[in-house]
Structure 1
Amino acid sequence: MRAFSTAARELPELATLFEILERFGDRAEPHVLAVVRQGGIEFPIIGVVVGARRADAPTFGLIGGVHGLERIGTRVVLAGMHTLAQFLAWDSMLNASLEEVRVVYLPLLNPVGMWLRRRSNGSGVDLMRNAPPHPEASGTPIVGGQRWSPHLPWYQGSPGVMEHEAEVLCAFVREWLFPARLALALDVHSGFGTVDRLWFPYAYSRRPFPALAEAYALERLLDDTLPNHVYVMEPVSRNYTVQGDLWDHLFDEHLEHCKDERRTFMPLTLELGSWLWVKKNPRQLFDVLG
């Protein structure tokens, strides 16, 4: 990763990622999925694979940094990576478990957005509004996606064009999560409100999505396993609707092309209730990065 030393100096999160990869050693397989350039600097988008290489192995994916302003998402994913690297150094049972299951990470999807301190990528596009919109989609006005201008928030981009970072996420999910007999993706964001929420599809519509039974089975499992957890599990559309949500797009693609009904792909979004942080520290209200 020495080729990206300049980017690491500009983005502390990248430097932290490189340090964690050194801790993993040969237990992790890093992939430079793409390089995005801004201001004469090359920023890598890095995916990391830990555990079983068998295609159908159960897989858990952790994604962060989709929105450049939401630094906390990347930091949560990096903290999880650091913990796993530490445990693998001595925990033989965990090492044995990872011969049967896989954990994949994409901790910083939008490095240019984070460097520029903006929600969008370098082209002004909100990546989570950039997938091909569903024909039935009717997003909440403005916040659900707009095509007026990249200078306004929630810009979807040009019709029919997916941004490089969005394509990278989709390709990573197709390669490492789609083949798994059970795949769970967790995309970490800082959200609105005072409650931490676990969102599942659909974002584009309030109609129930086909894996609703599996989503509520997961909720029951969470309640039984961690009875004191603070998460509210619900569909995205209970709060607002979105055109061009990448997880809607990937879920529907998996549903359409997967011929094995025993395979399950469940994308979740963790929306951290960032208003709680402001309540504890009002000065954060004036920090663009929270």
Structure 2
Amino acid sequence: MAELKSITPHISVAAEQAGRDSGQRRQLRTFIPEMVQLERLLADAPESVQSRVLTRIPVKGMSVPIYRTDIGSRASDAPVVLLVGGVHGLERIGAQVVIAWLDSLIARLRWDDHLNALLEKVRIVALPIMNPGGMFLNQRANPAGVDLMRNAPILAQGDSTFLLGGQRLSPRLPWYTGEPEQGMEPENLALKSVIDELLPNSRFSLALDCHSGFGWQDQIWFPYAYRRRPMRRIDSVMALKLLWEQAYPNHNYVFEPQSAHYLTHGDLWDYFYKQVNKAGKGTFIPLTLEMGSWRWLRKRPRQLFRLDGFFNPLAPHRHQRVLRTHLLLMDFLVQAAVSHENWLPAGDQARMLREAAIMHWYREA
């Protein structure tokens, strides 16, 4: 796999793959401006920022890349923070939030000695646009019609919500899981390759997958989505929640298991959490940021007449506010990963936090 810097001094990889056709390049600029922004950001980044193309997704006669960006330690057992955006093509704000944070981080690399010292202890890996084909087509699913968040080989243990929990009726309907015999979609296989490479050997790892979701508040979801029972290391999630609330008591996030809302088939992070726990030596905490889009609709009701208005803040000042709101959370996750030995529970503390988590999140279940 070629690195981005070695092939983009004058022209982007996406344009090269599109046959150097200026018309196709204009299409990319029109339909995936986030891709153009990301390419420019990475092309101008310091040499310590390594980027590569994981795979390419065919769409409308083009071939659009999924970029992977690595920053920080290359030690095999270093803590890992994995940032993912754009899993659903309609939810552009997820990709934009990850790119905004990368932009801030890369700018600080040029002058912030404290940050550079911190990055010697942690590895940051970002896949800002996981579903470039869906983003190009302005649809939730990938070009094959598969909802990437319903595509993992894991089934709900209980009644899932009709359609919303995943369906195999037709790719023309939303939340299509794909056919099991066809395996996971190429976008998910690209993400799996990163997780298989890095997480099993890491002492500690965190993932933050950025989405927009219906609700009045920003929510941070964690596994499981396939069953209403606690995940294996629920004590570590409770410890992270308490750490965040002690450091930033005036925050506006709600921490909850996804199963508190509905059960789904094929949840990606359920699957990866179980796989890493089977093979891994450390602790893995996957989180999903669901940005509450109902607030944007309430303040700007005319967004209801636009498909992207259901999932993204369209008013410029509100869009800028969302982009800066989550920078602190991402910085905190990096700091928490570096210092995980200082707060990750063990022994009696782990048992106490597990009981507290069950009382807090699973009492009714």
**Same fold by TM-score, threshold 0.5 exceeded?**
yes
Compared CA separation, residues 57 and 137, structure 1 to 2 (3 A): farther
1:256 aligns with 2:297: no
1:218 aligns with 2:228: no
After superposition, where does 1:46-61 map in structure 2 within 5 Å? 46-61=67-82
Deviation sequence 1:31-81 (CA, Å, 0-9, x none): 100001111111000010000001111111110000000000000000000
Q: How far is the alpha carbon of 1:140 from its aligned partner?
A: 2.1
Q: Using the TM superposition, name which of 218-227 and 174-183 deviates more.
A: 174-183
Q: Distance in 2 between matches of 1:237 and 1:135?
A: 10
1:146 aligns with 2:156: no
Number of the residue aligned with 1:238: 260
Report the AA paired with residue 167 of structure 1. L
How high is the TM-score relative to the length of structure 1? 0.96
Between the two proteins, what is the percent identity of the paired residues? 46
Decide which of 185, 188, 192 is 1:170's aligned counterpart: 192
1:209 aligns with 2:219: no
Equivalent residues of 1:197, 1:234 under 8 A apart? yes
Deviation sequence 1:122-155 (CA, Å, 0-9, x none): 0000000000024736422210000000000000
Decide which of 77, 93, 117 is 2:138's aligned counterpart: 117
Q: How far is the alpha carbon of 1:171 from its aligned partner?
A: 1.2
Number of the residue aligned with 1:289: 308
Q: How far is the alpha carbon of 1:175 from its aligned partner?
A: 1.7
Equivalent residues of 1:278, 1:284 under 8 A apart? yes
Q: Distance in 2 between matches of 1:3 and 1:217?
A: 42
Q: How far is the alpha carbon of 1:255 from its aligned partner?
A: 1.2
Question: Following TM superposition, where does structure 1 have runs of at least 4 consecutive aligned residues deviating by more than 3 angstroms?
Answer: 134-138
Number of the residue aligned with 2:123: 102
Equivalent residues of 1:23, 1:85 under 8 A apart? no
Deviation sequence 1:256-287 (CA, Å, 0-9, x none): 122x3xx1111000000000111122222222
Q: How far is the alpha carbon of 1:25 from its aligned partner?
A: 2.4
After superposition, where does 1:21-100 map in structure 2 within 5 Å? 21-100=42-121
Q: Which runs of 5 or more residues in structure 2 are unaligned?
A: 1-7, 16-24, 310-365
> Per residue, is there more helix in 1 or in 2?
2
Q: Which runs of 5 or more residues in structure 1 are unaligned?
A: none
Q: Distance in 2 between matches of 1:287 and 1:25?
A: 39
Aligned to 1:249, the other structure's residue is in SS state helix
Equivalent pairs counted in the alignment come to 287
> Radius of gyration: which is bigger?
2
Q: Distance in 1 between matches of 2:163 and 2:98?
A: 29
Task: Give the RMSD, CA atoms, in angstroms.
Answer: 1.3
Q: Distance in 1 between matches of 2:123 and 2:74?
A: 7
Q: Distance in 1 between matches of 2:199 and 2:138?
A: 30
Report the AA paired with residue 278 of structure 1. L
